[in-house]
């Protein structure tokens, strides 16, 4: 666990901003952390005395618990703050909230927000490290990193591998973080979904677009199924859950046409019987629960890299 | 009132087709005779305008003052001071105040208040519909009688074509235009920036440029049948092309764009800069190029600021939550000179026309926007060459929401004269 070098920024806001070396550093560190977590007593004193707060404007079980676990592996203290998104417009504004948290002596703010750019706004206004735990449709960098970690864990380097990302690309921060990270590492990405849920100009991010899941499945190495929200149906992005499921849902019959070593992924929470059938979600190709396990390792690595070594928080850039 | 003799400046008066070095004499609040040497010259204050431009006072046909309702953002007084510093001698304030300018009492309030506290002419634009709700016509006739110079629900579209039809028909009797804020509210719902590669890249909800274009198309068709329409803040290439064709088809339509639509692209919001959040949203470079073409070929008649003051509490927050709009009065002329005249897109005369005689013509403002003898002595003297740096902290506006902070621009207002009274001297407000 020698710290060779660090991350360039005090914050982790997105995979868009990371250099390949930084991504590799996080992934390498996560491998060490996975070993630490597997020990009988999964605890090291590295971040003793550091204080982390999770500031969530959107509900989350997995991500928040994962960060809590990661912090505890490193012996950091954690405080959890939840703010209902309905009070965002009325309540204390974001900058005041994060400044208050900072002067309480917090070293790191893990923020989830329903609006893109919110963690960036926070990061500009505090010296503490800000980690983006999902901002609107923009990014979910720790999810992207744990997905990539899992892919490499299963099949080695992702360079040249074909990755399908299927579903609501338009409203997905998971898709964007996957695309930024995987493109940097040389993977080939195809986004698949109804045209209403493929955002304008996504080709500029270096991905292919397809509306035909069956055709794309034939030679895919990985398929990452995104959660579909009922709200999208209510807004006429597609006519019914049943039709969506028929066109873009992953079931055993469809999966039987894929390569024999395809890896099925899902960031969770899964809608059984909607974007993924139970048979597939629990079947031999899925790594969904491994993703969750790897998530703790990746988040432990990120906290370690951002907070260890007593590195002084840099002044915000602007 | 003391006479003023402006000597040796380059007088640019598009309405009189003048662009030459001349003297201007102001007596009794009026332009005496262009080029004439007045007999009262001995007592006149003499302004040496050598090397400077002498222009009709600029007219902004699209200003948001926040009075009544939000005097913390802008008042009639502060907005007028900002206007004077920017070279505007007449500003037309939109109806989306609180309460809105949708009844004669509010029109009267603005006219009276402007008379007391504004250093420039302030002309109210009244609402098309009651409460800007788009459902029932406001009392246009009574508002007109109190001094409204146009009708607009700006800030909000009139979504119902039947209501817009009635508004166009009804407004004809007053001979003033209906100004349309073109936005299909269903297409734009929930959006925060232009829908494009960049909105996809930075994960913000997009507004398709179609939201503007379908309404421009609708209003052109309505104008063909029912009466004159002026299209506010044109930002998209397809809108420009639609308007160009409509003019070829002799439809009664006019249009304005704003400095930010020829000076900035959507990449200004890439770092979530809320000062560049504006409605309609900033568009692609192809749109900017077409807007510039539209200015050059006359498709876009006028340049207006869409001055929209917001305080820091409504800007220094999440991008989605931030209010739309930017302050423009104090940077508009310099952006026109820097981005359009210096680059030779427009001649100085063409540029001045879009800020003076064009809006005067659209709004039927007799005796404004020109330096012809007998006109109101609204004059601005501009140094077109000196470069200055935009510093929002120095704005006379109460608000600071500009995306142009730190920009180096050419074109500095030296004097602003309103009705024969010097309100800006050596680039500073007199009082």
Q: pLDDT of A248-279, one tens digit each?
A: 999 999 999 999 999 999 999 999 999 999 99
Q: Are B303 and B258 in contact (CB under 8 A)?
A: yes
Of B197, B272, B313, the CB nearest to A201: B197
pLDDT tens, residue by residue, B314-339: 999 999 999 999 999 999 999 999 99
State yes or no: pLDDT of A315 exceeds 50: no
Helix locations, chain A, DSSP H: 20-37, 62-73, 94-103, 118-125, 141-155, 173-184, 213-217, 230-234, 241-248, 252-255, 278-281, 288-307
Dihedral of CA atoms A217, A223, A227, A228 in degrees, nearest 10, equals -20
B207 Cα to chain A: minimum distance (Å): 11
Residue of chain B whose alpha carbon sits nearest to that of A170: B200
Tokens for B315? 């800007």
State the count of interchain CB pairs (< 8 A) between A and B.
74
State yes or no: pLDDT of A318 exceeds 80: no
Q: CA B350 to CA A28: how far, in whole Å?
A: 63
pLDDT tens, residue by residue, A149-185: 999 999 999 999 999 999 999 999 999 999 999 999 9
State yes or no: pLDDT of A1 exceeds 70: no
Q: Are A295 and A73 in contact (CB under 8 A)?
A: no
Q: Confidence class of residue A73 from pLDDT cuts 50, 70 and 90? A: very high
A63 is in an annotated binding site: yes
pLDDT of A4 reads 46
A115 CB neighbours in chain B (<8 A) are: 318-321
Q: Are B140 and B112 in contact (CB under 8 A)?
A: no
Question: For chain B, how many helices (H) and strands (E)?
Answer: 13, 19
A227 is in an annotated binding site: yes
Q: Per mean pLDDT, which range of A86-90, A108-112, B58-62, B236-240 is the poorest?
A: A86-90
For the domain covering A141-288, report its CATH number.
Answer: 3.40.50.1370
pLDDT of B44 reads 84
A201 CB neighbours in chain B (<8 A) are: 196-198, 200-201
Q: CA B148 to CA A40: how far, in whole Å?
A: 80
Domain coordinates in residue numbering, chain A: 20-138+293-307, 141-288
Q: CA B215 to CA A62: how far, in whole Å?
A: 45
State yes or no: pLDDT of A312 exceeds 70: no
Given the DSSP bridges, would you call strands A188-192 and A208-210 parallel, antiparallel or unpaired?
parallel
pLDDT tens, residue by residue, B243-270: 999 999 999 999 999 999 999 999 999 9
pLDDT of A87 reads 65
B200 CB neighbours in chain A (<8 A) are: 170, 199-202, 204-205
Interface with A, mutate which of B200, B269, B277 (most A CBs under 10 A): B200
pLDDT of A317 reads 38
Scanning the structure block, which residue is given the tokens 């309609």? Answer: B280
Q: What is the mean pLDDT of chain A?
A: 93
State yes or no: pLDDT of B291 exceeds 60: yes
Q: Are A222 and A185 in contact (CB under 8 A)?
A: no
Scan residues 26-85 of A and list those with Cβ closer than 8 Å to B: none
Residue of chain B whose alpha carbon sits nearest to that of A17: B202
- Going by the DSSP 8-state scheme, the letter that residue A282 receives in this structure is T
State yes or no: pLDDT of B380 exceeds 60: yes
State yes or no: pLDDT of A85 exceeds 80: no
Task: Given the residues B153, B306, B378, B383, select the one marked as catalytic.
Answer: B306
A94 CB neighbours in chain B (<8 A) are: 317-318
B207 CB neighbours in chain A (<8 A) are: none
A39 is in an annotated binding site: no
pLDDT of A86 reads 61
Q: Confidence class of residue A233 from pLDDT cuts 50, 70 and 90? A: confident
Task: Say if B210 is an interface residue toward chain A (CB within 8 Å).
Answer: no
> Which phi and psi (to 5°) does residue B412 adopt?
-120, 130
Task: Say if B321 is an interface residue toward chain A (CB within 8 Å).
Answer: yes
Q: CA B120 to CA B418: how far, in whole Å?
A: 6
pLDDT tens, residue by residue, A181-210: 999 999 999 999 999 999 999 999 999 999
What's the average model confidence in pLDDT over B46-70?
97
B96 is in an annotated binding site: yes
State yes or no: pLDDT of B125 exceeds 50: yes
For the domain covering A20-138+293-307, report its CATH number.
Answer: 3.40.50.1370
Q: At what angle do helices A288-307 and A62-73 cross, to 10 degrees?
A: 50
State yes or no: pLDDT of B39 exceeds 80: no
Task: Determine the distance from the C-alpha atom of residue B27 to the mean position of all C-alpha atoms in its chain, rounded to a whole number.
Answer: 28
A284 Cα to chain B: minimum distance (Å): 34
Q: CA B382 to CA B364: how far, in whole Å?
A: 25
Given the DSSP bridges, would you call strands A129-135 and A162-166 parallel, antiparallel or unpaired?
unpaired
B319 and A137 within 8 Å at the Cβ level: the answer is no
Q: Are A152 and A27 in contact (CB under 8 A)?
A: yes
pLDDT of A84 reads 78
ipTM score assigned to the predicted complex: 0.89
Dump the DSSP string for B171-185: HGGGT-PEEE----H
Does residue B311 come out as left (phi exceeding 0), alpha (psi in the -120 to 50 range) or beta?
Answer: beta
Question: For chain A, how many helices (H) and strands (E)?
Answer: 12, 9
Is B60 catalytic? The answer is no
What's the average model confidence in pLDDT over B204-221?
98
pLDDT of B1 reads 76
pLDDT of A3 reads 44
Which domains are assigned to chain B?
A: 4-54+375-429 (2.30.40.10), 57-362 (3.20.20.140)
pLDDT of B169 reads 97
Interface with B, mutate which of A120, A135, A200 (most B CBs under 10 A): A200
A205 and B200 within 8 Å at the Cβ level: the answer is yes
A121 CB neighbours in chain B (<8 A) are: 272, 316-319
Closest CA to A300 of A151, A103, A142, A125: A142
Task: Determine the distance from the C-alpha atom of residue A151 to the mean position of all C-alpha atoms in its chain, rounded to a whole number.
Answer: 13
Q: What is the mean pLDDT of chain B?
A: 96
């Amino acid at each position: 666990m020698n710290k060779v070098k660090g991350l360039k920024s005090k914050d982790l806001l997105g995979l868009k901003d990371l250099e390949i070396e930084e991504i590799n550093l996080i992934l390498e560190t996560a491998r060490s952390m996975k070993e630490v977590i597997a020990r009988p007593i999964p605890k090291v004193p590295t971040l003793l005395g550091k204080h982390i707060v999770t500031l969530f404007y959107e509900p989350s079980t997995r991500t928040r618990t994962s960060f809590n676990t990661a912090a505890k592996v490193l012996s950091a203290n954690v405080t959890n703050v939840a703010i209902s998104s309905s009070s965002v417009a009325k309540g204390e504004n974001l900058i005041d909230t994060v400044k208050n948290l900072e002067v309480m002596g917090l070293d790191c703010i893990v923020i989830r927000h329903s609006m893109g750019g919110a963690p960036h706004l926070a990061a500009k206004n505090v010296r503490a490290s800000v980690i983006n735990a999902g901002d609107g449709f923009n990014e979910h960098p720790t999810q992207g990193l744990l997905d990539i970690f899992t892919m490499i864990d299963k099949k080695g380097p992702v360079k040249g591998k074909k990755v399908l990302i299927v579903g609501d690309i338009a409203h997905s921060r998971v898709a964007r973080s996957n695309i930024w990270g995987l493109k940097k590492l040389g993977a080939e990405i195809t986004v698949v979904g109804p045209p209403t849920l493929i955002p304008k100009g996504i080709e500029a991010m270096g991905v292919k677009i397809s509306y035909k899941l069956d055709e794309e499945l034939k030679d895919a190495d990985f398929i990452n199924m995104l959660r579909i929200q009922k709200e999208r149906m209510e807004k006429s992005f597609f006519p019914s859950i049943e039709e969506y499921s028929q066109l873009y849902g992953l079931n055993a019959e469809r999966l039987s046409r894929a390569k024999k070593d395809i890896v099925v992924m899902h960031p969770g929470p899964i809608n059984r019987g909607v974007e993924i059938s139970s048979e597939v979600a629990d079947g031999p190709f899925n790594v969904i629960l491994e993703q969750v396990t790897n998530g703790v390792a990746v988040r432990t690595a990120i906290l370690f890299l951002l907070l260890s070594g007593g590195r002084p928080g840099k002044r915000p850039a602007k | 009132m003391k006479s003023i003799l402006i000597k040796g400046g380059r007088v640019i008066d598009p309405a009189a087709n003048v662009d030459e070095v001349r003297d201007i004499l102001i007596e009794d609040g009026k332009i005496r005779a262009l080029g004439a040497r007045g007999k009262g010259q001995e007592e006149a204050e003499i302004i040496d305008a050598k090397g400077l431009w002498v222009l009709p006072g600029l007219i902004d046909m699209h200003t948001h003052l926040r009075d009544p309702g939000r005097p913390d953002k802008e008042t009639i007084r502060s907005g007028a001071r900002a206007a004077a510093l920017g070279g505007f001698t007449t500003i037309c304030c939109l109806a989306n105040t609180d309460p809105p300018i949708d009844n004669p009492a509010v029109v009267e309030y603005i006219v009276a208040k402007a008379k007391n506290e504004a250093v420039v002419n302030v002309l109210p634009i009244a609402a098309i519909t009651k409460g800007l709700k788009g459902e029932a016509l406001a009392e246009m006739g009574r508002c007109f009688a109190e001094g409204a110079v146009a009708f607009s629900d700006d800030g909000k579209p009139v979504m119902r074509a039947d209501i817009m039809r009635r508004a166009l028909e009804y407004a004809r009797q007053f001979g003033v235009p209906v100004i349309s804020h073109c936005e299909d509210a269903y297409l734009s719902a929930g959006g925060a920036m232009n829908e494009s590669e960049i909105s996809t890249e930075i994960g913000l909800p997009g507004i398709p440029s179609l939201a503007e274009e379908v309404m421009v198309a609708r209003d052109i068709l309505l104008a063909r049948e029912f009466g004159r329409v002026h299209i506010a803040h044109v930002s998209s290439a397809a809108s420009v092309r639609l308007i160009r064709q409509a003019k070829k088809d002799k439809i009664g339509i006019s249009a304005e764009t704003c400095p930010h639509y020829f000076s900035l692209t959507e990449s200004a919001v890439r770092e979530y800069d809320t000062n560049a959040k504006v409605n309609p949203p900033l568009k692609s470079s192809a749109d900017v190029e077409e807007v510039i073409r539209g200015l050059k070929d006359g498709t876009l008649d006028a340049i207006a600021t869409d001055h929209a003051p917001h305080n820091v509490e409504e800007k220094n927050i999440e991008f989605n939550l931030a209010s739309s709009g930017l302050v423009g009065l104090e940077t508009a002329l310099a952006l026109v000179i820097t981005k359009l005249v210096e680059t030779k897109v427009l001649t100085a005369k063409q540029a001045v026309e879009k800020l003076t005689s064009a809006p005067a013509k659209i709004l039927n403002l007799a005796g404004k926007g020109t330096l012809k003898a007998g006109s109101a002595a609204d004059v601005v003297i501009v140094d077109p060459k000196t470069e200055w740096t935009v510093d929002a902290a120095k704005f006379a506006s109460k608000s600071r929401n500009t995306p142009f902070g730190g920009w180096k621009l050419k074109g500095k207002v030296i004097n602003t004269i309103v009705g024969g009274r010097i309100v800006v001297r050596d680039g500073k407000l007199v009082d």
